[in-house]
A and B are shown apart, each in its own frame.
Chain A
Amino acid sequence: DAKTTQPTSMDCAEGRAANLPCNHSTISGNEYVYWYRQIHSQGPQYIIHGLKNNETNEMASLIITEDRKSSTLILPHATLRDTAVYYCTSSLFHDKIIFGKGTRLHILP
């Protein structure tokens, strides 16, 4: 079973910020939170990851709550190309990485 839970789908208007939530209330203190996205049938691509602090890169921002029970991936200015399935995962050292079903994000023109 996935350690993370996500909404099945979300809509966001083009140009607006897309905020994708993830619940990971059972992860351990050393587990990292990773986000990936998958477009069509391509393999998932890495977006961002973090442990405790908020993180930002050229693609997105990751906000992790202080208790680490949840996080939010933020795409600051969503475009039609951001339409994809987004996966939140947690991982530790040599442990298995479970993806779950992810969130299907629809960007509306």
Chain B
Amino acid sequence: DVKVTQSSRYLVKRTGEKVFLECVQDMDHENMFWYRQDPGLGLRLIYFSYDVKMKEKGDIPEGYSVSREKKERFSLILESASTNQTSMYLCASSFVSGFDTGELFFGEGSRLTVL
């Protein structure tokens, strides 16, 4: 089975801190994604990556950056955390076949609270 592992289930950080959220997948997937989920807003795409060292902005990239130095790992970075970044963060990966992006496999999520 595909496994997508997010490093922390729960984090509490203070405003202004630098925050790293790590995501690792074990199935050699090309695509990796970071979403955030807030009540009433559904899942919103922050960044995605389709290859090592490649990154593309999603719909809400402001205040975030990402890093993909290895194919299996996709990190989300909050350079200076703010209270409005309190949210559930979900990582996902997929295997591309032809035009088909492939089904997304999600991690269990990281619930971040910024005080």
List residues of chain A with CB under 8 Å of any chain B CB. 1, 30-32, 34, 36, 41-46, 49, 51, 85, 87, 91-102
Partner-contacting stretch, out of B65-73, B75-83, B94-102: B94-102
Q: Is the CB of B106 within 8 A of A44?
A: yes
CB contacts under 8 Å to A, within B85-101, are 88, 90, 92, 96, 98-101
Q: Is the CB of B109 within 8 A of A41?
A: yes
Measured CB to CB, the closest approach of chain B to A105, in angstroms, equals: 14
**Residues on the A chain within 8 Å of B50, using CB:** 94
**Residues on the A chain within 8 Å of B25, using CB:** none
Q: Is the CB of A99 within 8 A of B106?
A: no
Partner of A91, one of B58, B88, B101, B107: B101
Partner of A46, one of B59, B99, B104: B104
Chain A CB within 8 A of B19 CB: no
Q: Is the CB of A32 within 8 A of B101?
A: yes
Measured CB to CB, the closest approach of chain B to A86, in angstroms, equals: 11
